[in-house]
Amino acid sequence: MNGDTTMTGDTTTRSDKGPAGAPEPVPPLLEVEDLHVAFRVRGREVRAVNGLSYRLGEGETVAILGESGSGKSVAAQAVMGILDGPARVERGSVRLRGEELLGMPERRRRRYRGERISMIFQDALTALNPVFTVGDQIGEMYQVHRGMRRKEARAKAVELMERVRIPSAAARLGDHPHRFSGGMRQRIMIAMALALEPDVLIADEPTTALDVTVQAQIMRLLAGLRDELRMGMVLITHDLGVVAGVADRIVVMYAGSVAEEAPARELYARPAHPYTRGLLASVPRLDRRGGPLTPIGGAPPNPAALPPGCPFHPRCPRAEARCAVDRPPPVTVAPGHTAACHFAEEVHGAAPAGRPH
């Protein structure tokens, strides 16, 4: 079909008319629905992801935000189809342009990885192979997926290294990963992930262990490439500052579940879940000098022994008796803004927690 397209919320519609004359709906670029992932450890069931759902459109960035252990990275691995060991997807759906990926034969699924959906891992030093040059590692994408000869693949590797702004790319093609700085290694990981121009890029903590200046450079680079390639990006992070200038929508995870989801500006201005408010309040701000930070009390729950009711209630300053018994369903507090809290509407109407600078 060659009709024009228009964006309408989470879905796209084409101007081509169906049998009844109505626009034909086009599925989201990536749709994750009711995803559950569990581990079997020493005879016990450990539930790492409990019903994650979100949608991603072309050229959009969805940030998955939460503390360590909230299930962010495990969910990303499930979407990529690279879970290993005792982990398994219990139920749910992962659709790429309407095509179901879960349950797809592994041989076919491998063709999707790298070509249609790709991932940047959080530790570039361990993700890159230390015994191969960066030129060979980037070029391998073209040799395996495009059938190029080694010389052609290395030429494409130089182009990619220049695209992600690695100085003297041709001269550094034969260097091994340990000869690059942390920021340059992360750029190499980005080059490998974008080699085949995938529809979806999952970036798992892409700025971990980098200084603030390099973090900003990496995020600007990713945002520029997203816009250039019109790809969708899933940004996994615990850093509210990293998310602020990049994300279109934010999904806040806690104990494997979605605590809150909203457009980025709306979430920073009017968070509706006490956990989100706690995260925002714990971030240092340039406009508030002096005084202690306001941390969230307690610690995240053990995924092998989640508390009954709302999983956040043992740490929540707003908790009441029913929070320890009844698990709150998502409550819509504004268009496109939901929070899984019994008091979501009340919290949403309270004074804003502030936006990180």
Question: Does 183 lie in the same domain as 90?
Answer: yes
- Banded model confidence at residue 11, pLDDT cuts 50, 70, 90: very low
* Least-confidence region, from 40-44, 61-65, 197-201: 40-44
Residue 159 forms part of a structural domain? yes
3 vs 323, higher pLDDT: 323
- Banded model confidence at residue 305, pLDDT cuts 50, 70, 90: confident
Question: Does 95 lie in the same domain as 188?
Answer: yes
Residue 160 forms part of a structural domain? yes
The residue from 247, 278, 310 where one domain ends is 247
Which pLDDT does position 6 carry in this prediction? Answer: 37
Residue 7 forms part of a structural domain? no
Question: Does 261 lie in the same domain as 166?
Answer: no
Rounded to whole angstroms, how far apart are CA atoms 241 and 245?
Answer: 8
Question: Does 195 lie in the same domain as 107?
Answer: yes
Rounded to whole angstroms, how far apart are CA atoms 196 and 218?
Answer: 19
The residue from 220, 247, 274 where one domain ends is 247
Question: Does 136 lie in the same domain as 71?
Answer: yes
Question: Does 72 lie in the same domain as 51?
Answer: yes
Which pLDDT does position 307 carry in this prediction? Answer: 93
Residue 215 forms part of a structural domain? yes
Question: Does 190 lie in the same domain as 258?
Answer: no
Which pLDDT does position 351 carry in this prediction? Answer: 66
Report which of 236, 241, 265, 230 is spatially closest to residue 252, judged by C-alpha positions: 236
Question: What average pLDDT does the segment 277-282 reach?
Answer: 90
Residue 13 forms part of a structural domain? no
Which pLDDT does position 41 carry in this prediction? Answer: 81
Question: Does 257 lie in the same domain as 227?
Answer: no
Is-contact 329 317, C-beta < 8 A? no
* Least-confidence region, from 5-9, 196-200, 208-212: 5-9
For 62-84, the pLDDT digits (tens) are 999 999 889 999 999 999 999 98
- Banded model confidence at residue 185, pLDDT cuts 50, 70, 90: very high
Which segments of 81-160 are extended strands (E)?
87-96, 99-100, 117-120
Residue 20 forms part of a structural domain? no
- 223, 203, 66, 45: CA torsion to nearest 10: 160
Say if residue 2's pLDDT is above 80: no
Rounded to whole angstroms, how far apart are CA atoms 202 and 264?
Answer: 18
353 vs 291, higher pLDDT: 291
Say if residue 111's pLDDT is above 70: yes
Question: What average pLDDT does the segment 24-50 reach?
Answer: 88
Which pLDDT does position 10 carry in this prediction? Answer: 45
Q: Contacts for 344-347 with beta carbons within 8 Å, 24 or more apart? A: 344/272, 344/273, 345/272, 347/271, 347/272, 347/273, 347/274, 347/277, 347/318
Return the CA Rg of the chain: 21
Which pLDDT does position 240 carry in this prediction? Answer: 84
Q: What backbone torsions phi and psi does residue 356 show, to the nearest 5 degrees?
A: -65, 150
Residue 356 forms part of a structural domain? no
Question: Does 174 lie in the same domain as 56?
Answer: yes
Question: Does 123 lie in the same domain as 272?
Answer: no
Question: Does 205 lie in the same domain as 186?
Answer: yes
Question: Does 226 lie in the same domain as 79?
Answer: yes
Question: What average pLDDT does the segment 295-315 reach?
Answer: 91
Number of domains the chain is built from = 2
Q: For the domain that residue 172 is a member of, what is the CATH number? A: 3.40.50.300
Domain with 272 in it? 251-286+295-348
Which pLDDT does position 207 carry in this prediction? Answer: 83
122 vs 163, higher pLDDT: 163
Residue 41 forms part of a structural domain? yes
